[in-house]
Structure 1
Amino acid sequence: MNTAIFKTWLVKNGNSSKVASDTISRLKKLDRALIESPISSSVDSEFNKDACKQLLKCFSKNGKNPIMDSFQLYPLPIGERYIHTYKLSLTKYIAFKKEYPDG
């Protein structure tokens, strides 16, 4: 994950520097949770596999669902409403990767 290019892209697309930093911070936390999970993956690996479609499903019902159970992303705030900030960060990263596949 190239955070420098992603941050530049976020700012260019209307996000403040603070929002861009927060987005990257959440994305890094999600990436660490994926790496430490039993599936031992990463955001980039999930993007290459299916454009993160399965990973996005983890966030339905505030993360309380069978897909999250299989991913076991327990460092995330499962069951809390603000888990959707992680989904929003992931959605922004997906848009970035579609525009800049090598980014």
Structure 2
Amino acid sequence: MAIKKREARTATPPPATNDQDAVARKAEEFGKGGYAPEVVEVPLNPSAPVGPQGILFRFNDYQKQLLKESAEADRRSQQKLLESIIWPELERRKAERNQ
């Protein structure tokens, strides 16, 4: 079985002389960086936090499985389940301290 070769694409015709001037101007602007947005440099704050602002929460395999099963039973994500338990409890404790 012979392999059929694709037909070569025809080259696009060269642009008209007015178009050549426009293309040349655009190429020159591109070479000068005229295409890029202006960047305003802001000094870095050395005391700014670095990296993600998450909190590490450690638990063992049993607790991980318990969390997974509880989230599935409540039909919520593990994150939503933890938030629904932790935040009300912390607010309750704060109210007790402030009494």
Q: Same fold (TM over 0.5)?
A: no
TM-score, length-normalised on structure 1?
Answer: 0.26
TM-score normalised per structure 2: 0.27
Structure with greater contact order relative to length (CA < 8 Å, sep ≥ 6): 1
